[in-house]
Amino acid sequence: MMATYQYTARDAVGNEVSSLYTDVASVSSLRRELVKLGYVLVRARRQPAATQPRGRVRPREVASFAYKFGGMYSAGLSIASCLQTLEQQANNAAFRAVLADVRRRVEAGASLKTAFEPHRNLFSDFFLGMIEAGESSGRLALSLDAGARYLEKRLELQQKTRAAFVYPLVVGVVCSLVVACLLIFVVPVFSQLYKKMHVPLPGPTQLLVVFSGLLRHWWWLLLPLGAALAVGGRRLLAHPHVRIHWDRLKLRMPLLGPLHHLVLASQFVRTFGMLISVGVPIVEALGTAGRVARNEEVARIAADLQDAVRAGRPIAGSLQAHRLFPPVVVQLVASGEEAGILPQMLAKAADLLDKDADRLTASLLVKLEPALTVLMGLVIGLILMGVYLPMFDYMAHLR
């Protein structure tokens, strides 16, 4: 079981340093870790288990931290001082605990990339790659600034995409509420009326009655059933074979597929461009860009591109072999390779893809809004028709 230790260690010169070390199994493990960092353990005391602050760290907080961290480090402050100041300024207890852990690791002698490693899911592969590149090339300030700009761009694109689909989501929720109210309150009233009148129920009405009964008497099963479906779906998608088919399907969906296509291409191109701009080798940058996309199809494309680059083929020609990248991206990359300004051209290509995604989103909404309104009216109309069908039959018999 991992624990936290308060320790005192001595460096090669004889200077002592005291700090905390988290996520270590035992004193022996702590001693080995400190030896790797050039320290000799003097004494250690296990800290009582503390409750980790709960809460969600929002992407906006991470992007803001990256900007402040880069700015403070560029101004000449030490990494530990930057982290300590930002830790004190953090309003989110969960994020403050993360920054405190990173700071303690840095004070213990770990590299900045190693200190951030346990929190990779929060800061992303790209951010850690930028830090590693900055540390190895001596351009950490530039890497932090580029990482912050990337996080902000990615967040901006995500927010635009989500905001664009607020209306369809609201229409879907309203339609679901109206249907639920009809099934719970309206259908039972007419069902009892038809029973008293001994009116035979046609197939559509019988189906509505069954659905109404399920919703009224077995509603409590919806929550666990929904949770089970969500967990089952997540586990199913975690399977590599299923995951790659699902990721390919998302790129081929009608209407939403082209938008997803542009977003993934923009994310890949921007990540790749920023990584090579701070000195990350091209092959490594392609691998990181493939992982950051979190799409198995894109990861496969990144692996193919890595093989092509290792074989000595130009990047533009390799991109052209994959439908993910529009011709304008290929042309800009070719120009960048010829002129020796590939990172700048990749940034321009990503900006163009972002603008295309914005235009496609607006066009998609123009088509979706009336379609959803018609669909909502059709669903409610079919339910009402099912409710009134027996009444029409009864009136016909009376005539």
Domain shared by 313 and 343, yes or no:
yes
Residue 325 sits in the same domain as residue 262: yes
Does any domain span residue 53? Answer: no
Instruction: Give the model's confidence band at 139: pLDDT under 50 very low, under 70 low, under 90 confident, else very high.
Output: confident
For residue 36, the model assigns a pLDDT of 73
CA dist., res. 60 & res. 256, Å (int): 25
> Strand runs (DSSP E) across 129-232, as ranges?
none
Which residues span the domain enclosing 22?
Answer: 3-46
Q: Are residues 25 and 121 in the same domain?
A: no
Evaluate whether 389 touches 199 at the Cβ level (below 8 Å).
Answer: no
Confidence of residue 396 (pLDDT cuts 50, 70, 90): low
Q: Tell whether 189 and 322 lie within a shared domain.
A: yes
- Residue 43 has φ and ψ, to the nearest 5°, of -155, 155
Region label for 279, one of left (φ > 0), alpha (ψ between -120 and 50) or beta (otherwise): left
Which residues are CB-neighbours of 29 under 8 A, at least 6 positions away? none
Do 230 and 82 fall into the same domain? no
Q: Average of pLDDT values for 391-398?
A: 69
Residue-wise pLDDT for 142-170, tens only, equals 888 888 888 888 788 777 777 777 877 88
% of the chain surpassing 90 pLDDT: 11
Integer-rounded Cα Rg, in Å, for the chain is: 29
- Of 366, 361, 349, 354, nearest to 156 (Cα)? 354
Does any domain span residue 270?
Answer: yes
Specify whether 288 is located in the same domain as 219: yes
The arrangement of strands across the sheet holding 3-10 comes to 16-24, 3-10, 40-46
Closest C-alpha to 329, from 314, 316, 312, 343:
316
Residue 148, in any domain of the structure? yes
What pLDDT does residue 51 have? 45
Is residue 50 very low, low, confident or very high in pLDDT (cuts 50, 70, 90)? very low
What average pLDDT does this structure show over 371-379?
Answer: 85
User: Model confidence over 176-214: pLDDT tens digits?
Assistant: 888 888 888 888 888 888 888 777 788 888 888 888 888
Question: At 338, which CATH number?
Answer: 1.20.81.30
51 is a domain residue: no
In DSSP notation, 361-394 reads HHHHHHHHHHHHHHHHHHHHHHHHHHHHHHHHHH
Same domain membership, residue 78 and residue 40: no
Q: Give mean pLDDT, residues 49-67.
A: 73
In which residue are the tokens 């669909």 written? 375
